[in-house]
Amino acid sequence: MISFSPPRMDQKIVDAVVDTLYSGWITTGPKTKRFEKNLTQYGGHKITLCVSSASAGLELMLRWFGVKPGDEVIVPAYTYSATANVVVHCGARVVFVDAGTDFNIDSEAIKKAITPRTKVIMPVDIAGWPCDYETINAIVSEPAIKSMFCAESDEQKKLGRILVLSDAAHSIGAGYHGKKAGNLTDITVYSFHAVKNLTTAEGGAVCLNLPESFDHDQIYKELNAKSLHGQTKDALAKTQIGSWRYDIIEPGYKYNMTDIQAAMGLVELERYDNDMLVRRKAIFDRYAAAFTQYPWAQVPEYERAGRYSSYHVFLLRIRNIDETMRDEIIREIFNREVAVNVHFVPLPMMTYYREAGYHIEDYPVAFDNYSREISLPVYYDLTNEMVDTVVKAVVEAVELTLDN
Ligand SMILES: Cc1ncc(COP(=O)(O)O)c(C=O)c1O
C-alpha cells in the first residue's frame, strides 16, 4: 500500500530528539528559542513565536488583536475546520467567502463580505499555493475600507485597519514576488503537524510582520506570556539562581512548544529548501507531466508569475464528474493499494456549520472544487516508481468510472 503522508524519519531526527531527552531540558528552552530565530531568518519576517499547533497560534493572534463577540472574521469556505473554529472560540461570527478556481479564497469576493464589524481576514494557502496577497493587502488599505473599520482594542487602534492573519498551515517555503510565506502579510501562522511538509509531530509558529509602528520585541514578550498562562517567566528562566518569583499578568493559555519538538524542527528546517522542497517539487512535476496528457485531468496551478507553491499536496480535479463519481474513483484507487484523500469538504457542509445556518449553495466554486477533487500523496520518501504507481492507479480508476 502506498500511504498518503508518512513523516520523513531518519537517524538525524532520532539523534536530535535523543540528544534533547538527555540534555536535562525537554520543555520550552534553548532549542525552541533557536528554532524561532532560524524560522525568522528563513522567512524574512520580523520575529517568530513557536507554539503547540497552528490552531493555537491562530487563536492566540485573534485574541491578541481583541476579537470578541459581535466581531466578524472572514474565512474561506474551503479550508480545514481549524481556520473557522478558532473564530468561534473567540465568540466572533465566521463570514465564509467562496473559493476561486485555484482553491484559495476568492480575493475579489472578500470586499463584498466586509462590514463595519470585520476585524480580521484569514486567507489560507491551500495545498501550499500562496493566496493573492497583493489584492488582499491592497483591500485592507483602501481608504473606504479603512474608514469603515471600527477600532476597539489598543492593537486595533494602532493598526487602524482590518488585520490580515494568514493561515499558512500548508505553505512554509512557498514564495510570492520574491518573498516567502511568513513575510507576505501582517501575521502568518505555520503548522508543523505530523502530515505537514516540515513537522515537529505537533507544533506551529506565529510569524509577526506588522507595520514598523509596532514594537515586535514587546509583542513577542506579551505573546510568550499569553502562551504560558500569562506567566512573566518561563520554566527555564525560573530555574536561574534567585529567579523563582514570577507573576501572572493575565489568564493566558498553555500553547508553548517543547524542546523535543523544536529539536525535530531544527533538523527539518536546515534541509528544507535544498532537500525536502526539491523532492516535493520533483513529485509535482512528475504528476503534472503525467496527467496533462489526459483531457479529463485538471492539474493544479503550482508555479506562475513569481508565485510558487510549497508543494504540500497535489490537488487533482477530474473534469465533468460529480461527487458520487469522485467517491467511486477514490474507492477504485484504494483498491489498487494507493491511499488518496480529499482536501477539503467545505466547512458549510459540516454538521456544526450547516446547523449554524451556512448553506453550501452560497459557495458554488468551493463545492465544485471539492466534488471533483482527489488529493494525491506527496512526501519526501515517495520515489518516482511510487509516483508512477499512483498515476497508473488514478488513470485506471478514472477511466473505469468514466466508462461505466
Ligand atoms: C488549513 C489548515 N489550517 C490549520 C490547521 C491546523 O493545524 P494544527 O494541526 O497545527 O493546529 C490545519 C491542519 O491540518 C490546516 O490544514
Q: Tens digit of pLDDT for each residue in 221-267?
A: 999 999 999 999 888 888 888 888 999 999 999 999 999 999 999 99
Cα of 8 from ligand 1 centre, angstroms: 19
Over pLDDT 70: what percentage of the chain?
100
**To test the ligand 1 pocket, which listed residue (50, 80, 86, 261) has its Cβ within 8 A of the most ligand atoms?**
80
Q: Is the pLDDT of residue 105 over 90?
A: yes
Cα of 285 from ligand 1 centre, angstroms: 25
Query: What integer is the mean pLDDT of 59-83?
Result: 98
Cα of 280 from ligand 1 centre, angstroms: 19
Distances in whole angstroms, Cα of residue 115 to Cα of each of 148, 185, 348 = 7, 21, 20
Q: What is the reported pLDDT for 112? A: 97
* Ligand 1 atom closest to Cα of residue 53: 10
Q: What is the reported pLDDT for 181? A: 96
Cα of 244 from ligand 1 centre, angstroms: 36
* Ligand 1 atom closest to Cα of residue 344: 16
Cα of 90 from ligand 1 centre, angstroms: 17
Q: What is the reported pLDDT for 242? A: 86
**Atom 1 of ligand 1 has which residue's CA nearest to it?**
80
Query: What integer is the mean pLDDT of 314-335?
Result: 98
Ligand 1 pocket: which residues have CB below 6 Å? 53-55, 79-80, 82-83, 124, 167, 169, 191, 193, 204
Q: What is the pLDDT of residues 327-337, one digit of tens each?
A: 999 999 999 99
* Ligand 1 atom closest to Cα of residue 193: 10
3-state SS class at 271: coil
Cα of 370 from ligand 1 centre, angstroms: 18
| Lowest mean pLDDT, pick from 66-80, 104-118, 237-251, 271-285 | 237-251
Cα of 96 from ligand 1 centre, angstroms: 17
The candidate with the shortest Cα–Cα distance to 188, out of 145, 133, 127, 253, is 133
What is the rounded CA–CA span in Å between residue 395 and residue 373? 14
- Angle formed at CA 345 by CA 108 and CA 308, multiple of 5 degrees: 50
Q: pTM of the predicted model, to two decimals?
A: 0.98
* The three grid cell numbers given for residue 48, joined into one nine-digit string: 517568530
Mean pLDDT computed over every residue of the chain: 97
What is the rounded CA–CA span in Å between residue 51 and residue 225? 12
Pairing outcome for strands 93-97 and 72-76: parallel
Percent helix, strand and coil across the chain, each rounded to 5?
A: 45, 15, 40
* The three grid cell numbers given for residue 29, joined into one nine-digit string: 528552552
The set of residues, in sequence order, having a beta carbon less than 8 Å from that of 359 and lying 6+ positions away, is 348
| Structural contact between residues 23 and 149, judged by C-beta atoms closer than 8 angstroms | no
Catalogue all structural domains in the chain, each as residue range(s) with its CATH number: 11-270 (3.40.640.10), 272-403 (3.90.1150.10)
The candidate with the shortest Cα–Cα distance to 161, out of 137, 141, 186, is 141
Q: Is the pLDDT of residue 50 over 90?
A: yes
**To test the ligand 1 pocket, which listed residue (51, 190, 193, 198) has its Cβ within 8 A of the most ligand atoms?**
193
The DSSP string of 280-316 is HHHHHHHHHHHHTTSTTEEPPP-EETTEE-----EEE
